[in-house]
Amino acid sequence: GAVVSQHPSWVICKSGTSVKIECRSLDFQATTMFWYRQFPKQSLMLMATSNEGSKATYEQGVEKDKFLINHASLTLSTLTVTSAHPEDSSFYICSARDQRTVSNQPQHFGDGTRLSIL
Partner 1 sequence: DAKTTQPPSMDCAEGRAANLPCNHSTISGNEYVYWYRQIHSQGPQYIIHGLKNNETNEMASLIITEDRKSSTLILPHATLRDTAVYYCIVNNAGNMLTFGGGTRLMVKP
Report the alpha-carbon distance of residue 57 to residue 46 in Å, rounded.
Answer: 11
Q: Does residue 5 contact residue 108 with C-beta atoms inside 8 Å?
A: no
Query: What is the spatial distance between Cα 77 and Cα 67, in angstroms, rounded to a whole number?
Result: 12
Task: Specify the stretch interacting with partner 1 by CB under 8 A; choose among 60-68, 69-77, 81-89, 91-99.
Answer: 91-99
Q: Three-state DSSP class for 87?
A: helix
Decide if residue 78 touches partner 1 (CB under 8 A).
no
Q: Is 91 in the site for partner 1 (CB under 8 A)?
A: yes
Our CB check for partner 1 shows the closer of 49 and 89 to be 49
Site string for partner 1, 18-47 (x = CB under 8 A): ----------------x-x------xxxx-
**Is 62 a residue that touches partner 1 (CB under 8 A)?**
no
If one asks whether residue 89 binds partner 1 (CB under 8 A), the answer comes out as: no
Q: Is 38 left (phi over 0), alpha (psi -120 to 50) or beta?
A: beta
Q: Cβ of 95: how many Cβ atoms within 10 Å? A: 21
- Closer to partner 1 by CB, 57 or 82: give it: 57
Query: How does DSSP classify residue 60?
Result: T
Residues that bind partner 1 (CB under 8 A): 4, 6, 34, 36, 43-46, 49, 91, 93, 95, 97, 103-104, 106-112, 114
